[in-house]
Structure 1
C-alpha cells in the first residue's frame, strides 16, 4: 500500500501529488466562499453590474487562488532562506513610497509599477511575519528570557511601523505592530517583559496623538461625537449606522438597499462593504458573513497548532493574526466602535494589493500545513 509518507520520499511527480493531497481543501473552499460573498457584494455595489468592481476583483481572486496553491507546495526550508531578502525588499518599497509614492486622500501609500498600483504596507505585514518567524524558530525558552536577544526583532518590527506611520497610515501601522507583538508572545516572551514594554504605552499614545495629522485627529473627534459634524467628518459613520439599522433582521433584499443603491453610503465598495451587506441581508446575513470570517481565523489558528516546527507555528500565527486584525478593525469601524481608519474587509472589499497580499499569506499558511509533520532537521532528509 502506498502511504502518504512513502509518496513524499518518492519521485518528484509523486511528491507533488502527495503535497496536493495534504492541502487543507476545506480551508480553500472556505476562502472561495468568502470570495463569492465579495463578488456578490461588489456586484451590488456596481448597481447590479460586474463593472467596475466585481469583474476585476474576480480576476484578482482567481489569480490569488492559483498563487495560494502554488505557494502551498513551497518548502519551509526555502521560506526561511527567502525571509530576509523579502523583508528588506519590503522596507525598500516603503522607503520608495515616501520618496515617489502616489498621493491619495492626503497620504502617500501607493507605488505605480508598470501601470499596476501597489501598496507596500500590505506586503510589509507578511514580510515581518516571515522575518520574525525565522528569527525565533530556533530560540530556546532560556534565550527568550534574555532582553538583548529581543532587541533586534524589536527593531525589525519598529522600522516598518515607523515608515508606514510616515505615509501616514495609522491603521496599517497598528496592525503591523500587533502582528509583531503576537509573534513575540507566541515565541515565548515573558509576562514581565510584556509588562515592561506596555508601561510606556499611555505616554507614547499621548505623544503620538500630538503628532497626528489634522484629518486623523478629526477622525478621533468624530468617533467620540459624530453628530457634531453630520455633513462633514461625521457623515461616513452616521450613514453607516443608518444602513446597518435599516437592514433589520432579514434585510431589504439583494440590490434593494436604500443607502447603498442611492449612493448615500460612502466607500461602499471598500471600507463600508459590510454595511451594504448588512443592509441588504440584515442581521442574519451579517452574522453569516462574520461566521465565515471567524471560521477562517480559527482554521488558521488550528493549522498553527498542528505544525511540529516552531517556524511554521509562528508564521501561521502571524498570518492568522493579520487576517483577524483586518476583520476586527473593519467591522468595529463600520459599527462605530473605533474611529474610521481605512482598513478593508479582506477577500470582500474591492482592492488589489490587500486581496493579493491576503492570498499570499494564505498560501504560506497552507505551506505550513502541508509540511506540518516536518522538523527542520528532517526536511532535507525527506527530500521535501
Structure 2
C-alpha cells in the first residue's frame, strides 16, 4: 500500500510535459494536412490583414461598424495564432510535445481570445441595433469614446476569469498518461488526465461558459429580435433589403461560432468519441476563422468597393514606376518626361 502511494505521488510530480496526439491517427495524411493548414493559416493572416488595412486607409469606412470589424479581424489573427503554428510544428516534426506551462498558456490564450470574440460579437450586434432601431441618435450613442470603451471592455473582461479558470485546472494533480488526444490544450481533453474528482472544475466551466457564451448569445438574439421587428415596419422593400444585408454577415458568423462553442463547452459530459470533439474544435478554431473574412468581404459592398480602389491604386503605382523606369532609360528631355508623367497621373496616358 505504501509503495503504491509513493508510485502515485511520483507520477503526479514527474509530469512536466504533455504530448498532443493531434492527427497522429492518420499518419499517411500528415504532409497533406501540413500543407492544407499552412495555406489556411496564411489565408487567414492575409485576408484579415487586408480588411484591417482597407478600413484603416479608406475614409468612407471610418464608422463604428468598421471600427469593430477591424478589431474583430485582429482578434481572429490572434486567436488562430495561438493554435495553428503549434499544430503545424507538430505535423512537421511528427512530435506533439508541449511543456506543462506552455500547455497552460495556450489554453489561457485560447479561452481569453474566445471570450473576447463572444463579447465583441455582442458589441457588433448592439451597434447594428442602434444603427437600425435608433438611427437619429446613432452618431451620438456610438461616438468614438463609447466605441473604444466597448472594444476595450471586450478585450479585457475575460482576462481575470480565464486566468483564474486556467490556474484552477492546472493546479489539479495529473497522474498516469500525459497524452492529450487533441491538437491543442483544450479544457475537456486536459481535464480527462486529471486525477481525483473534477466536479468543481466542471461546474466552474459551465458557469464561465454561461457567462461568456449564453448571456452574450441571448443579448445578440434580443438585439436581432428588435432589428427584425424594426426592419419589417419599413415601407420600402429596398430599405428592408439594405438593412438585412448589413446584418446578414454578422448573423452568419454568430450562428456558426456560438453553435460549435456551445456544443464544446455547454454540452453534458459526453460519451461521444474524442475524434468528434476534435472535429468540432477544429471547426470553431480554424474553419470559421477562415470563413469569417470571406463572409464579411463578399457580402459587404463597401468593403468590396474599398478593395477595388486599393487594387486600382496599387496597379496605378506599379504602372507609374514602370513608366518612370522606362523614361529614365530613354533619350527624352527632362520637360518631355515630366509631361508624360503628368499625363499618366491625369489618366490621359
Structure 2 length normalisation: TM-score?
A: 0.32
In terms of Rg, which structure is larger? 2
Identify which of structures 1 and 2 has the higher relative contact order when contacts are C-alpha pairs closer than 8 Å and 6+ apart.
1
Question: By percentage of residues, which structure has more helix?
Answer: 2
